[in-house]
Structure 1
Amino acid sequence: MKPPRRRHVVVAVLSALLLSTATGPGPAAAAPIYPAPDPDAFYAAPPGLAAAEPGAVLDVRAQPPLPYFPTATVSLVKFRSTDSKGRPIAATTTVLTPANQQPGAPLLSYQHIINGLGTRCAVSHALYDYDPNLLYRAVPLLNAMLLRGWSVALPDHLGPNAAYGAARLGGQITLDGIRAAQRAPGLGLAGSPAAMLGYSGGGMATAWAAALAPAYAPELRLVGAAAGGVPMNIATMAHALGLAPHPMFGLAMAAALGLEREYPDRLPLSEQMNPAGLEVRAAMANGCTIELIASGAMRSAAELATSTSLIDDPRVWAIAEENSLELFDGVPSVPIFEWHTPIDPLIPVDAVENTLRRYCGAGVRVESQLYPSPDHLATAVMGFPAAVAWLDARFRGEPAPSTC
């Protein structure tokens, strides 16, 4: 098996920290470590948040122009969403409005891959920090959509605590972000059909949103969802990972820490870390991709954790299962476009096939495309043109094809 690549956001959700067999004196109990509050007061949760309904617009702010989106205006929308326990949270989405927008024109929610434990890693900040991962991979794609007259929403789908790895949370924030974009005054999206697109970690948020929508947001006028490279079962992935030092261990540890933030009462990872582990954790607490990779490079669980019984704790694996789409009994009510490489060493193909087979059996129109690429990120590039063409046909009202 090839080593994990850095874009597999949730591949190592419980990963090596849960599987450690190291022994030694345990540190004093450590609570989960949360990101520093965003210094921009716009992101703060307002009083009375619980009284607002999911998707309710809390605030809208015009943003400075972005030079690499020359045909679009930019708005930041704050809205009410829901965390994994059903509690109210404030979330944000950035809406790009094309200069040639027409009433009722499409709205695309694009879920970008966010590797981070810090609030500054969110897409709404990365757009203005000129994050090369966003600029080089997403900007050409999004400009093509803006030129079609589509509005594009980019949700900060890890939520206010940057809960890296919490896939179901990302789906809920995605749906509430669409609700908010359509309700926000001045954006002209109230009558717009909507669709969703994402790959890898962004594909996970997209796929979860599609599966949750019938129960969580049944009123939305969704026409389809295109999701590629989606880890459909993170529990299977976690079981398959080893304990050897790895250059990308930082992302594995970050995903585990992000899930601890979302499930602090059921996933006490920090209590199982030795002093070295707590030091690495502190270095990661507000890190984005580069910092996470650097802090954990060539580390391992055996080096950073004390002996633990978490591997046998049913609460731990229940969290992984709750965030594994293969095990979720809901099915989308909209057509699905899915793409992946059959030789990706990190995404269990069986889990993808099982999920799609269940969708087909429930009557979902599913088009699944395989790309003979040995590289996860190359597969994203190969599949995006077909995904966008598929979405365009859905917006035009054409019947969805199926490979079921």
Structure 2
Amino acid sequence: MSHRSKKPSLRRVALLGVGALFATALAVPAATADAAPAADCAAADAAIYRPPASVTAAPGTVLACRRVDALPLVGDVPLTAWKVQYASTDGRGKAVAVSGTVVVPRAAWTGPGERPLVAFAPGTLGIGPQCAFSKQLAGEYQDAYEGGNIAALLRAGYAVAATDGAGYLDGQVHPYVSGADAGHALLDIARAAPGVPGSGLSAAARVGLWGYSEGGAGSLWAAQLARSYAPGLSVVGVASGGVPGDLKVVAKSLNGGAFAGFLLDAVIGMATTHPEMPFDELLDEEGRTAVRDAKMLCLVGTLARFAGGRTENYTRDGLTLDQIFAVRGPDGRTWGQIVDKNKLGTGVGPAGSGARHEIGFPVLQYRGLLDEVIPAETEEATRQAYCAARIPTQWNTYPGDHLLADFQAVDDVVKWLGDRFAGRPMPGNC
């Protein structure tokens, strides 16, 4: 495999250092009904992020779209792009609206068949609406770091449908690390992309899934859910890196460390998806302040504000993670059981196996050998679970840490996806 020698800029490296505060987005009144996008995709920017009062359209329907002139984070690749709001389904089966970005290279597609589409799930950016990947791609904020991934796909001739993920509309909270929310949002933006007026994309196009870190988990969840949730999509492969496959293992590693802000975001994300579970009553005043602050911060600010934080410092009774996992809700379920439902690699099997999650296409998983954020044991365990389930799986490692490995893998991932689009066999290296 090849390794990119180009290192991220000092600004990107600083994502793991000093923080910056981002203001919360102002709430915008809810729309009263679903509406088909105008033929010229001329919705106001505010309309993309305004949550409808209700969503009645089928998952993958474009609800609003807006042509954007440039994507500064992507660079100077000739492209046409749209911000979109589309219908999806949350982790509990409720119809919701999600925002994202659809990008098409201006260069004509010269390969066989329709232009392929890559559905892209970004890494961790923060849980407030101000952190949405679509806003950062458009240059409204400077905290994201994966514009180069998008640019590489466009240079290869592929269209990109990059989801923000659920919970980035005004007044919402991102359900961070909720597997079903993430998987549905990614699959539905792939379904939505051909419905963007002027995109020239086909609903019959071959689709690849890609994500790293939070996006790595989201893309693998999309792979696990694709056959049951979006059987009409022609998914040909998934590339997932830096995957937090077992959230309990990750949580124990993050608690009290330099990246404890990720754990706080995860706790808030779980509380958002399970409002019936005890949460606010477990917090002390410092904990409530931490929750308020986390919703106002994006990636860099979150890391700086909460470095070294421990759950014991934010809870009334100094609860450890194990004690929080043991807390029961009104239906008798524990927080630990809810967290375990988001564990990747359980109930998976190849197409026709009868497994709960049938995966009928190849999988690429990868990690940095010096990853200081996601424990090696959970990344390797997810890979081993896929291999044990007889799912064709390629496993790559890179010499970098968590952030650097994302950049090092880009060329390999784009080539791997290209091989899947071309229908080349992939026996894997289990």
Q: Same fold (TM over 0.5)?
A: yes
Q: In the alignment, which residue of structure 1 is the partner of 2:49?
A: 43
Instruction: Name the structure where helix makes up a greater proportion of residues.
Output: 1
Instruction: Provide, for residues 224-247 of structure 1, a one-character-per-residue CA deviation record: whole Å limited to 9, x for no partner.
Output: 1111110111123334555x4x44
Distance in 1 separating the partners of 2:150 and 2:300 = 24
The 3-state SS of whatever aligns with 1:113 is coil
Q: CA deviation at 1:277?
A: 1.8
Q: Is residue 7–residue 200 contact of structure 1 (8 Å, CA) maintained in 2? A: no
Closer/same/farther in 2, CA of residues 138 and 240 from structure 1, 3 Å limit: closer
Q: Is residue 114–residue 121 contact of structure 1 (8 Å, CA) maintained in 2? A: no
Closer/same/farther in 2, CA of residues 396 and 341 from structure 1, 3 Å limit: same
Structure 1 residue aligned with 2:260, among 208, 227, 249? 249
Q: Where do residues 344-363 of structure 1 align in structure 2 (5 Å cutoff)?
A: 344-363=371-390
Higher RCO (CA-CA < 8 Å; seq separation 6+): 1
Identify unmatched segments of 5+ residues in structure 1: 9-33
Q: Where do residues 1-400 of structure 1 align in structure 2 (5 Å cutoff)?
A: 37=27, 40-49=46-55, 51-67=56-72, 68-102=75-109, 104-129=114-139, 131-134=141-144, 137-160=145-168, 161-190=173-202, 191-240=204-253, 242=255, 244=256, 246-266=257-277, 268-307=278-317, 310-313=324-327, 314-329=333-348, 330-342=357-369, 344-373=371-400, 375-400=401-426
Closer/same/farther in 2, CA of residues 47 and 193 from structure 1, 3 Å limit: same
Distance in 2 separating the partners of 1:101 and 1:270 = 53
The 3-state SS of whatever aligns with 1:265 is coil
Q: CA deviation at 1:47?
A: 4.9
Point out the more displaced range, 223-232 or 70-79: 70-79
Point out the more displaced range, 381-390 or 101-110: 101-110
CA-based RMSD:
2.6
Distance in 2 separating the partners of 1:223 and 1:144 = 19
Q: Is residue 91–residue 156 contact of structure 1 (8 Å, CA) maintained in 2? A: yes
Closer/same/farther in 2, CA of residues 344 and 219 from structure 1, 3 Å limit: same
Q: CA deviation at 1:147?
A: 2.1
Structure 1 position 401 matched with structure 2 position 404: no
Point out the more displaced range, 308-317 or 169-178: 308-317
Closer/same/farther in 2, CA of residues 317 and 392 from structure 1, 3 Å limit: same
Identity, % of aligned pairs? 29
Instruction: Provide, for residues 346-391 of structure 1, a one-character-per-residue CA deviation record: whole Å limited to 9, x for no partner.
Output: 4344444443334334442211112344x12222222222111111
Identify unmatched segments of 5+ residues in structure 2: 1-12, 17-23, 30-45, 328-332, 349-356
Kindly provide the amino acid, as one letter, of the partner of residue 287 in structure 1: L
Closer/same/farther in 2, CA of residues 7 and 196 from structure 1, 3 Å limit: farther
Distance in 1 separating the partners of 2:139 and 2:422 = 35
Distance in 1 separating the partners of 2:266 and 2:98 = 20
Q: Is residue 80–residue 89 contact of structure 1 (8 Å, CA) maintained in 2? A: yes
Q: CA deviation at 1:261?
A: 1.0
Kindly provide the amino acid, as one letter, of the partner of residue 213 in structure 1: A
